[in-house]
Amino acid sequence: MKILHVVGARPNFMKVAPVHRAIAAYPQIWQILVHTGQHYDLNMSDIFFQQLGLPAPNINLEVGSGSHAVQTAQIMMRFEETVLKEKPDLVLVYGDVNSTVAAALVCAKLGVRVGHVEAGLRSFDRTMPEEINRLMTDQVADYLFTPSQDGDEHLLREGVSAQKIHFVGNVMIDTLVRLLPAAGRLWPRISSDLHLKDQRFGLVTLHRPSNVDDPAMLAQIMTTLADISHELPIVFPIHPRTRVRIASYDVQIKENGNMQLIDPIGYLDFLCLQQRAKLVITDSGGIQEETTYLNVPCLTVRENTERPVTVEQGTNILVGRDMALLREETQRVLAGASRKGTVPPLWDGHAAERIAVIVTGLG
């Protein structure tokens, strides 16, 4: 049996790693790792392969950046050739990026079975490119692996047959559980490099078009962060998209020595910072889940989330685009009044093993 994994963007890498490892326990399965090249910078891609212990991709489609249509079409054209040549029995796609939907569509048209890892999540906000990717991918997938039970409910409501849906838990948490000790060992170096004290800093990431592609919104966010940093020093690893926007809009960053804007960092470094942070401010999807697992307060700068368990059971609070609310919730955390969360069911470090049993048909 030949299984082909498709990944392309940073958040895919920590999801494929545990699934690749779990399937490697079955020597009779031949695995091929395809990187679409959607993300290509060293610190957006290669560093993750090294730190996660992933083998180098067998195939790199080298599509690079482009508009949604160009990027998706390029992946489809190049991936179709790969599928015709490799003739996999099953293709696994991950998350909700353009690489995910492009590969799933190619498989559906060629009649190759496809499994979607992290199926069923819905923000119900179709202005998000990821929501379109999730809806399309789930419609054509043959196996739908959900991280939380709300995913099963959404899929059933959309007419997906119950036999295709498998509630397996969260593969990203598998990676977190495995690598948390290694990440923890980096703290002496990182705290010294960035002059940080345990529980005495805020960690920020922002890259959603809804926040960073709108100059007025980006300026408001940066001003608010600069104000917060007077009370809580901030570390902000900047996504390339955000870096370009800050430069091109000439967004004023109030320099006060307490806000460090640094280049994107590796998985282990980021995990180490999350674990030691007093507070995380983000618009990422995965970070909402990681902070819930780590029981670290998370303020999400979005109006909605496709990961409602992080709000209902975890430590996540949606502040939307309301900067007054962001300040207020930050004060609440600083006053020690943050809510304690619980870890959602099956976020236990074994989701990928459950996927491996299902796709291989081997117990």
Question: Could you list the active site residues?
Answer: 207
Among 59, 112, 130, 137, interactor with ligand UD1 by CB under 6 A: 130
Of 37-45, 156-164, 292-300, 325-333, the window that binds ligand UD1 (rule: CB under 6 A) is: 37-45
Nearer to ligand UD1, 96 or 138 (CB): 96
Burial of 359 (0-12, 13-18, 19+ CB in 10 A): buried
Binding residues with ligand UD1: total (CB under 6 A)? 19
Out of 51, 98, 146, 229, the residue judged to bind ligand UD1 by CB under 6 A: 98
Q: Which of 38, 170, 258, 338 binds ligand UD1 (CB under 6 A)?
A: 38
CB 306, CB 129: distance < 8 Å = no
Site for ligand UD1 in 48-87 (CB under 6 A): 65
| Shortest distance (Å) from residue 195 CB to ligand UD1 | 27
Instruction: Kindly tell me which residue out of 3, 5, 6, 10 binds ligand UD1, with binding defined by CB under 6 A.
Output: 10
Reading the block at residue 225, the tokens are 């962060």
- SS3 category, 34: strand
Q: Provide the minimum distance between the beta carbon of 49 and ligand UD1 in the complex, in angstroms, as a whole number.
A: 13
Quick one: which of 40, 213, 215, 219 contacts ligand UD1 (CB under 6 A)? 40
Contact status, residue 33 vs residue 5, Cβ threshold 8 Å? yes
DSSP string, 238-260: PPHHHHHHHHHHT------SSEE
Q: Does 354 contact ligand UD1 by CB under 6 A? A: no
Contacting range for ligand UD1; rule: CB under 6 A; set: 22-30, 39-47, 147-155, 228-236: 39-47
Burial of 52 (0-12, 13-18, 19+ CB in 10 A): buried
Least distance from ligand UD1 to the Cβ atom of residue 134, Å: 10
Establish if 135 lies at the interface with ligand UD1 (CB under 6 A): no
Contact 7, 99 (CB under 8 A): yes
| Contact criterion met (CB below 8 Å) for 302 and 326 | no
Contact call for residue 241 and ligand UD1 (CB under 6 A): yes
Using the rule CB under 6 A, give the single segment among 109-117, 159-167, 236-244, 290-298 that binds ligand UD1.
236-244
Q: Give yes or no for residue 215 binding ligand UD1 (CB under 6 A).
A: no
- Residues 6 or more apart whose CB falls under 8 angstroms from that of 151 comprise 119, 120, 121, 144, 165, 167
Contact 217, 249 (CB under 8 A): no
44 touching ligand UD1, by CB under 6 A: yes
Residue with tokens 């983000």: 282
Least CB distance to ligand UD1 at residue 106 (A): 16
What is the rounded CA–CA span in Å between residue 137 and residue 121? 11
Residues 6+ apart with CB under 8 A from 333: 278, 279, 297, 299
Query: What are the residues binding ligand UD1 (CB under 6 A)?
Result: 9-11, 38-41, 44, 65, 96-98, 129-130, 207, 239-241, 244
